[in-house]
Amino acid sequence: MISSEQSGVRQLLALEALDSQLAAQRNLAARWKALDIMHAPTPAAKAAMDKVDANVPLIQQSLQALGDALKAENAGADIMARFEALQAVVKGMDSQSLRSVGWWPDGYDRFTAILAAAQTLREQVALDSGLILDPWLETYLLMQISTQYSSDLIERIGRMASVGQSSVASGQFTLQSRLQMRDLRSRIGDARDQLVKVAASLKAKPYTGMEPWAEQYENSLQRLDNELKVLDDGVFGGSIKLDTAGFERSVDTLLDSAGALRRQSLDSLDARLDYYREASLEKVLPLVVIFSLLALAALYLFMCLQASIRRSTSGITTLAESLRDGNLCVEVAVQGRDELAAISTALNVAVVQLRTSLLGVNHETQQLGSAVLTLNAQSGSTLTEVEDQQHQISQIAAAATQLAATSLGALAVANKLRAVPSKPGGLPKTAAATASAPLPASSNSTSA
């Protein structure tokens, strides 16, 4: 904020030179117009004309310097817009252009518009740079004196000089010019009272380094009062007693004293802002040191925390990679009591439980394999016995088939024997009984 305000003061100092030259140019033009009443210019009119033309290049140089200063200070868009508006109206101030003006009031209005544009630029600079919101009383009052009260006083003195120059040169007032001069003199008195009031408030709060401004203020106020008394006695009395040279000398003295006070106010404002800037740096420096130490401590703690986290995460990563490779014999070294330590502990427990479960599964698998082998052996012996039984059954079936065939043959023979007719006397009993008797062995074989 202070840097911005100091930038605004530098811009106002660059504007000060241009504003003083513009006010002087209006006075020179008024003096020339007051003398240029003949068809052929008099030597005095030519000298006044030369002064008017000689001041135009200086005004252009000051205008260019102001533009460079605004660019160097990175002035805002509003300030540059005001400056461009001032550039647009700063023209037609040479004698050739002023000759085209029908009468002096039109030329006076032209200069008044230019000075009003300069004052608008001054107020915009004070607004954008933060000078108008200055938190310190003395700098705020210096800002008001340099941008408002001294500028109002200079403007009203310049208006009085421009309006009264022709009346003093002619040695008499018209009714309109007398009323204008009375009104302008009253306005000068009001501006002077306002300036004194603000200066009294500033002097009531003295500070170290105020002496140059206080000295300039007393000097300017003394000269201002003296020359106003001269004007009151020589111009605002019953008749005009002051000659042209005396009037111009008094006006120049008034403008010089007011301008010197405005420049000194800006210089004092810049010096006081520089003091506050150094004071703020002195206050901020310990805070910066403390903040730097705290930042270093925080950085150290952060690095320690990062190293701890990295150690914990590296163990967890190693465990995860071991799990991925199927190695269940790795454990994480637990350090600390933070969340990562809790995760490491939980992973260790999980790995132990998983390892125990897998060992149990392996044991059960081995037992299951043994049982399967036993069942395979038993099933093999059972199959062999079944095959032997099948072979025995096959043999029994073959024997039974043979016995059945033998029985059938015997039956057939018996049947044949029964069918043969018996001769008288027949067979012997023994043969008949033998043929008709049943066969016990065949019967038993068949039954078997």
Per-residue pLDDT of the chain (448 residues; tens, 9 = 90+): 788 888 888 999 999 999 999 988 888 888 887 777 666 677 877 888 888 888 889 999 999 999 999 999 888 899 999 999 998 888 878 777 877 766 677 777 888 889 999 999 999 998 988 888 878 899 899 999 999 999 999 999 988 888 888 778 777 777 777 788 888 889 999 999 999 999 999 999 888 889 999 999 999 999 999 999 988 888 877 677 878 888 889 989 999 999 999 999 999 999 998 888 888 888 888 888 888 999 999 999 888 877 777 776 777 777 777 777 777 676 767 666 767 677 777 877 887 887 788 888 888 888 888 888 888 888 888 888 888 888 888 888 888 888 888 888 888 888 888 776 554 444 444 444 444 444 444 434 333 3
The domain over range 1-133 is classified in CATH as 3.30.460: no
- The number of helix segments (H) and strand segments (E) in the chain equals 13, 0
Cβ burial, residue 196 (10 Å; 0-12/13-18/19+): middle
Q: What is the pLDDT of residue 429?
A: 46
What global pTM score does this model have?
A: 0.64
221-242 pLDDT tens trace: 999 999 999 888 888 776 778 7
User: Any idea which residue has 């106003």 for tokens?
Assistant: 228
Do the beta carbons of residue 23 and residue 158 sit within 8 Å? yes
Fold exhibited by the domain 137-283: Four Helix Bundle (Hemerythrin (Met), subunit A) (1.20.120)
Q: What share of the chain is helix, strand, coil (3-state, %, to 5)?
A: 85, 0, 15
Find the helix or strand (DSSP H, E) in which 423 lies. Answer: none
Q: What is the pLDDT of residue 432?
A: 44
Residue 329 phi/psi, 5° resolution? -100, 5
| CA-wise closest residue to 247 among 180, 174, 162 | 162
User: Any idea which residue has 């010019």 for tokens?
Assistant: 177
41-89 pLDDT tens trace: 778 778 888 888 888 899 999 999 999 999 998 888 999 999 999 988 8
Count CB atoms within 10 A of the CB of residue 211: 11
Q: What is the pLDDT of residue 103?
A: 64
- List, in order, residues 6 or more apart from 18 with CB less than 8 Å away: 59, 62, 63, 65, 66, 118
Residues 145-179 as b or e (16 or more Cβ within 10 Å = b): bbbbbbbbbbbbbbbbbbbbbbbbbeeebeeebbe
CA atoms within 13 A on the CB side of 131: 29
> Three-class SS of residue 352?
helix
Where do the domains of the chain lie? 1-133, 137-283, 328-393
Do the beta carbons of residue 220 and residue 228 sit within 8 Å? no
- Name the token pair of 195: 């300036």
> Three-class SS of residue 49?
helix
Q: Maximum Cα–Cα distance for the chain, whole Å? A: 219
Q: What is the pLDDT of residue 435?
A: 43
Cβ burial, residue 38 (10 Å; 0-12/13-18/19+): exposed
